[in-house]
Amino acid sequence: MSDPKLDAYWMPFTANRQFKKSPRLITGADGMYFTDDKGRQVLDSIAGLWCVNAGHNRPRIVQAIQNQAAELDFAPPFQMAHPKAFELATRLAAIAPEGLNKVFFTNSGSESVETALKMAIAYHRVRGEGARTRLIGRERGYHGVNFGGISVGGMVANRKMFGSMLGGVDHIRHTHDPARNAFTVGQPAHGAEFAEDLERLIALHDASTIAAVIVEPVAGSTGVLIPPQGYLQRLREICDKHGILLIFDEVITGFGRTGQPFAAQTFGVTPDLMTVAKGLTNGSVPMGAVFAKQGIYDTFMNGPEHLIEFFHGYTYSAHPLACAAALGTLDTYAEDGLLTRATQMQAMFAEALHSLRGEPHVIDVRNIGLVGGIELAGLPGEPAKRAFNIFLDCWDKGVLIRTTGDTIAMSPPLIIEPQHIEHIIATVRAALRRAA
């Protein structure tokens, strides 16, 4: 029977009934570890939820939030602003892929996606191509939980209950190809040709109707799908050929996850718009952003100067506490060299992950930078249950992992050390063997 004190909270993306019978409550965090309500230390292998890239309880971030709360709690973002919003945008543009030098602030990855989709459609309308309203996503893509995001997204469970969603959306095929690419270390050699599926949709709908294509450089929530060599480059070429904007959803991959500040830099492909959140504030205060190319911004800057150019924004866009947290986060990343630290740790991380090949139920291992996926054979007739059981087992043994379907996903804080990697992998290995 569940605790009555737990009844009122309807938890997100959670098996509510199972949780309330056996709660997993976190009461503190520091460095690489959470503390639960029983006082146990739990090693965090997923950076909270892909977001606490600098580790927990970092002094610069804590102090920045405390100071800001005492100085300026809120400033209206419409027709007004505060200095830290401009300071943060300038610092973000300095580390962004070249050319992405305009920053629009949101409060989450989901809001960043909605903003980027609206920017893309409005951009074409402003420049006289108002027929370009169609949006192209990708099967197995995850772009948040708002209607735009689930419409361009391609994860069935996130879509099936919510009706017809946005019209004018189509999807290219995913890149998962275990027959050719299973147990690849880093980028798979096979699959660049999957980008040609975009040409099929362009032929079907005509380029003159398509505003944008949105993809995750690394598809995270669907189970860590790494882009095949040459795949993102080919998407960029096709979009350029047909005048279509390319949007990268870097909510998971941004801020050092792949060894560069952004995956666009890791893979050498620059999109027209880029969405971020999570690692922007190290998870400490909700915040997101959209990076845009100068030319997109300039296209909107027309008409009488007193009129609003883009009718979009949020009450909490560039919230003072969020800006302070983000500035403290950027300071922490810079001081500790965290935006490129994954390049130092990725070989060790990859070797440890791939050592699980041959363990019970493991059918694939995928990795890039400090992100990894361990795909398991599911229990017949019970999708996702085997991985969920291993999640519970690891929690009981003091390691927090994440599962999506029957894939174990890992994205540890970028401060991770060899002993943490060894502990995580040993715990997962033992859980896999117990699940045999």
**CB atoms closer than 10 angstroms to residue 337:** 11
Burial call 250-272: b when 16+ CB within 10 Å, e when fewer: bbbbbbbbbbbbbbbbbbebbbb
User: What pLDDT sits at residue 334?
Assistant: 98
CB-based contact 322:285 (threshold 8 Å): yes
Q: How confident is the model at residue 149 (pLDDT cuts 50, 70, 90)?
A: very high
User: What pLDDT sits at residue 2?
Assistant: 72
Q: pLDDT tens across 270-302, in order? A: 999 999 999 999 999 999 999 999 999 999 999
Closest CA to 263 of 227, 237, 239: 227
Identify the DSSP state of 377: P
Mean pLDDT for the stretch of residues 46-72? 98
Given a cut of 70, is residue 16 above it in pLDDT? yes
Structure tokens at 366: 């995928």
Structure tokens at 411: 């994205």
Kind of pairing between the strands at 399-400 and 41-44: parallel
Q: pLDDT tens across 65-95, in order? A: 999 999 999 999 999 999 999 999 999 999 9
Closest CA to 254 of 264, 242, 240, 244: 264
pTM of the predicted model as reported, rounded to 2 decimal places: 0.97
Mean pLDDT for the stretch of residues 91-119? 98
User: What pLDDT sits at residue 194?
Assistant: 98
Q: How confident is the model at residue 1 (pLDDT cuts 50, 70, 90)?
A: low
Q: pLDDT tens across 309-336, in order? A: 999 999 999 999 999 999 999 999 999 9
Mean pLDDT for the stretch of residues 214-240? 97
Q: Which CATH number fits domain 4-53+339-434: 3.30.470.10, 3.90.1150.10, 3.40.50.300, 3.20.20.70?
A: 3.90.1150.10
User: What pLDDT sits at residue 69?
Assistant: 98
Given a cut of 80, is residue 108 above it in pLDDT? yes
Mean pLDDT for the stretch of residues 376-404? 97
Q: Tell the burial category of 57 from Cβ atoms under 10 Å away from its Cβ (0-12, 13-18, 19+).
A: middle
- List every span in the chain annotated with CATH 3.40.640.10: 63-336
User: What pLDDT sits at residue 392?
Assistant: 97
Q: What is the largest CA-CA distance in the chain?
A: 69
Question: What CATH number does the domain located at 63-336 have?
Answer: 3.40.640.10
| Average pLDDT value for the chain | 97
DSSP letter for each residue of 217-250: SSB-TTT-BPPPTTHHHHHHHHHHHHT-EEEEE-
User: What pLDDT sits at residue 154?
Assistant: 94
Mean pLDDT for the stretch of residues 96-102? 98
CB-based contact 250:276 (threshold 8 Å): yes
- List every span in the chain annotated with CATH 3.90.1150.10: 4-53+339-434
Given a cut of 80, is residue 342 above it in pLDDT? yes
Kind of pairing between the strands at 134-138 and 210-215: parallel
